[in-house]
């Protein structure tokens, strides 16, 4: 940084074309990534949109059929199962993992010993793939070898726990496993939120004689309300994209009872050779994400502006 740097300003001025190139460098650095992202986001989406309006079956073809694929998709019983499952799953999964996550975060926030250990335990499932989680839980749900057999072995011989063996209950196996996997994530975000609450605010509430639970309900939780929304939005995203977990846990079964939109897209495109309808289903997934994310992003922008105005 010493002598060498000092010599730079007195070096002879660069040729004009080199100077211009110099100002172009940042744009040139960004250009490849921009181009690639542009293709990925816009070209790919329009491409799939077009396929969804085409008569593609085994191979992509480009005969235009309008909204036929969407019509046949929505008329399909399996698609009906898929989005019903998605709603059911989203509801339980989000509420369940947020409730458990909040509980764990509040407990850890009570100045417990070994905080790092607790956190590590609750969060590790998130590091592991849905494939691993789904596979292991599929064994635990197996009535012959898993939890049911274990409890019966303890002496409760008519104990029954065979969620994945039954069409009507298999979806709850997916829900429980999903909550197990991601309540640690909610915990981490809530804990970060709890720690960011102004300690003076809490002290003031305590001086006013508010009990611990009252302090949480009236002071702390309202201040971290935006985190609830952030966690919910992220988890809805997870839910809409759910594929791996189901693929490993139930493979969409028994029968087609745990079909999810993402599973159905895969099936239509690669198992049944109905690319057009598969593309339509993929577009519906994108639409679902947009319904959640567009208002959320607008709200974030609006809030940031409002904060900017207020100082």
Q: Which of residues 10-49 bind another protein (CB under 8 A)?
A: 11, 22, 25-27, 29-30, 32-34, 36-38, 40-41, 43-45, 47-48
Question: Smallest Cα–Cα separation from 69: which of 289, 260, 264?
Answer: 264
* Of residues 153 and 168, the one with the C-beta less far from another protein: 153
Note whether 229 binds another protein by CB under 8 A. no
Residue among 57, 61, 80, 135 that touches another protein (CB under 8 A): 135
Q: Among 67, 95, 99, 192, which residue sits at the site for another protein (rule: CB under 8 A)?
A: 192
Taking CB under 8 A as the criterion, the residue among 91, 153, 255, 273 binding another protein is 153
Q: Which is nearer to another protein, 27 or 75 (CB)?
A: 27
Size of the site for another protein (CB under 8 A): 97
Kindly tell me which of 142 and 257 has the beta carbon lying closer to another protein.
142
Considering the rule CB under 8 A, would residue 266 count as an interface residue with another protein?
yes
> Is residue 127 involved in binding another protein (CB under 8 A)?
yes
Judged by CB under 8 A, the chain residues 56 through 115 that form the site for another protein are: 60, 100, 103-104, 107-108, 110, 112
- Give the dihedral sign, CA 66/67/71/74: positive
When binding is defined by CB under 8 A, the residue of 57, 61, 80, 120 that contacts another protein is 120
Residue-level length of the chain: 311
Nearest distance from C-beta of residue 103 to another protein, angstroms = 7
């Amino acid at each position: 940084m010493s002598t060498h740097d000092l010599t730079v300003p007195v070096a002879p001025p660069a040729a004009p074309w080199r100077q211009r190139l110099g100002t172009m460098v940042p744009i040139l650095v960004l250009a490849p990534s921009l181009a690639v992202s542009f293709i990925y986001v816009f070209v790919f989406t329009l491409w799939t949109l077009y396929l969804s309006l085409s008569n593609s079956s085994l191979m992509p073809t480009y005969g235009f059929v309008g909204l036929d694929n969407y019509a046949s998709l929505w008329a399909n019983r399996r698609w009906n199962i898929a989005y019903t499952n998605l709603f059911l799953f989203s509801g339980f999964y989000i509420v369940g993992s947020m409730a458990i996550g909040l509980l764990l975060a509040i407990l850890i926030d009570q100045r417990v010993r070994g905080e790092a250990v607790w956190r590590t335990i609750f969060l590790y499932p998130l590091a592991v793939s849905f494939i691993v989680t789904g596979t292991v839980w599929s064994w635990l749900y197996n009535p012959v070898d898993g939890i049911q057999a274990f409890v019966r072995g303890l002496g409760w011989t008519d104990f029954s726990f065979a969620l994945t063996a039954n069409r009507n209950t298999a979806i709850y196996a997916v829900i429980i496993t999903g909550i197990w996997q991601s309540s640690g994530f909610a915990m981490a975000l809530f804990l970060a939120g709890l720690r960011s609450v102004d300690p003076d605010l809490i002290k003031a509430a305590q001086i006013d004689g508010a009990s611990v639970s009252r302090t949480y309900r009236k002071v702390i939780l309202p201040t971290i309300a935006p985190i609830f929304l952030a966690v919910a939005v992220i988890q809805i995203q997870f839910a809409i994209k759910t594929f791996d977990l189901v693929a490993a846990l139930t493979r969409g079964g028994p029968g087609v009872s745990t079909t999810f939109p993402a599973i159905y897209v895969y099936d239509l495109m690669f198992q049944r050779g109905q690319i057009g309808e598969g593309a339509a289903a993929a577009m519906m997934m994108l639409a679902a994400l947009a319904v959640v994310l567009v208002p959320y992003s607008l709200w974030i922008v609006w809030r940031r502006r409002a904060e900017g105005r207020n100082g």
